[in-house]
Structure 1
Amino acid sequence: MTGSDAVPLYRALYAGVGQEYCWWMRRSMPDQDLADILHDPAVHFMVLRDSSSSPVGFYELDLRRGGDANLAYFGLLSQAMGRGLGRMLLDHAVARAFDAGSWRLRVNTCTLDHSHALPNYQRAGFVIRNVVSETWDVPDEYVPERLRRL
């Protein structure tokens, strides 16, 4: 998706999908920086819509490194979960990456992501290649309530 409505739609989906999983990097990014990413022809922002045309999920596929593709973000809004839509959307992202000539497709997930994220990626053919322990200094306004209690 491109155009002037891409940034607000991306922000709404990114926040809606990621708010419970501590997604924050794109939320804190200035609009122009996000627009530059989304308007790059090698970045694919794909929106999944339900039968009423309401957005229910998205992915951001980054092909800027040639054949070394990165599924930068992927997810569904909570009301779309449990209906097989994640599997369909992930299959679409994988096919799009390899149809574009990618020789590798990477995805990163973490322990804060939905519990079905890793199994869903593995079902689609992803394998664990590297595990890294990271600590992030997340701004307080992006920390979900459930994590503030820890």
Structure 2
Amino acid sequence: MSSKVYYLQQLSLSQLSAKPMNEHLSVQEIIEQQAQKSREFYIAVGKNWQWNDKLAWSEQQWLDYIESNQLRTFGAYIKGLLAGYFELHKHSDNSVEIAYFGLTADYLGQGLGGDLLTRCLQTAWQWQANKVWVHTCDLDHPSALANYQARGMSLYQTILEH
């Protein structure tokens, strides 16, 4: 089965079309047990979108993944329950990739995606990025591409993968 992969970017914070944060949504950077939380978040959010590239990873692979200080993980919570997460990866060229972004199934369709993406992009820019970028595909949430574009990210490449 083939899918389209979309690459989007923002070249300055001024391109951000911010959406106000839902007052019930709190975002926290994960410092303690980052590998464990990254794995939990990846499974909780990714199970709906065929994220399976890391499902077979060992505990050591997760520890190796988060070892770099160039990877930051953020959990999004409503009333203490996981609503979603994002991970940012800073590359050697000072670009910041949104490595993972999404909501858990219980919080889809409530307008939280734009709120969380706004916070994600603001956080990426605070990390002295020269560009923020992401890739998504047509296997992700049907509103994913539109959400990225509504927050001011522009499409710069589309690839058909087989």
Could you say which residue in structure 1 is the equivalent of 2:145? 118
Higher strand residue share: 2
Per the TM alignment, residue 93 of structure 1 is displaced from its structure 2 partner at its CA by 1.1
Per the TM alignment, residue 66 of structure 1 is displaced from its structure 2 partner at its CA by 4.2
Which residue of the other structure, out of 97, 110, 118, is the alignment partner of 1:70?
A: 97
Query: What amino acid is the match of 2:129?
Result: S
Per the TM alignment, residue 128 of structure 1 is displaced from its structure 2 partner at its CA by 1.1
Higher helix residue share: 1
Q: Which runs of 5+ in 1 are unaligned?
A: 136-150
Q: Distance in 2 between matches of 1:46 and 1:70?
A: 14
Q: Is the 8 A contact 1:48 1:56 kept in 2?
A: yes
Which residue of the other structure, out of 88, 98, 108, is the alignment partner of 1:61?
A: 88
Q: Distance in 2 between matches of 1:49 and 1:13?
A: 12
Change (3 A) 1:85 1:12: same
Of stretches 58-67 and 111-120 in structure 1, the one that deviates more from structure 2 is: 58-67
TM-score normalised per structure 1 = 0.81
3-state SS of paired residue (2:97): strand
Please list, as runs of the form range in 1=range in 2, the aligned pairs for 1:59-138 lying within 5 A after superposition: 59-135=86-162
Could you say which residue in structure 2 is the equivalent of 1:147? none
Give the aligned CA root-mean-square deviation in angstroms.
1.5
Per the TM alignment, residue 89 of structure 1 is displaced from its structure 2 partner at its CA by 1.2
Q: Which runs of 5+ in 2 are unaligned?
A: 1-29
TM-score normalised per structure 2 = 0.75
* Structure 1 position 30 matched with structure 2 position 63: no
> Following TM superposition, where does structure 1 have runs of at least 4 consecutive aligned residues deviating by more than 4 angstroms?
none
Per the TM alignment, residue 33 of structure 1 is displaced from its structure 2 partner at its CA by 2.2
Of stretches 112-121 and 60-69 in structure 1, the one that deviates more from structure 2 is: 60-69
Of stretches 5-14 and 58-67 in structure 1, the one that deviates more from structure 2 is: 5-14
Q: Distance in 2 between matches of 1:81 and 1:22?
A: 16
Query: What amino acid is the match of 2:85?
Result: F
Tell me how many residue pairs correspond in the alignment: 133
Query: What amino acid is the match of 2:156?
Result: R
Q: Distance in 1 between matches of 2:152 and 2:104?
A: 23
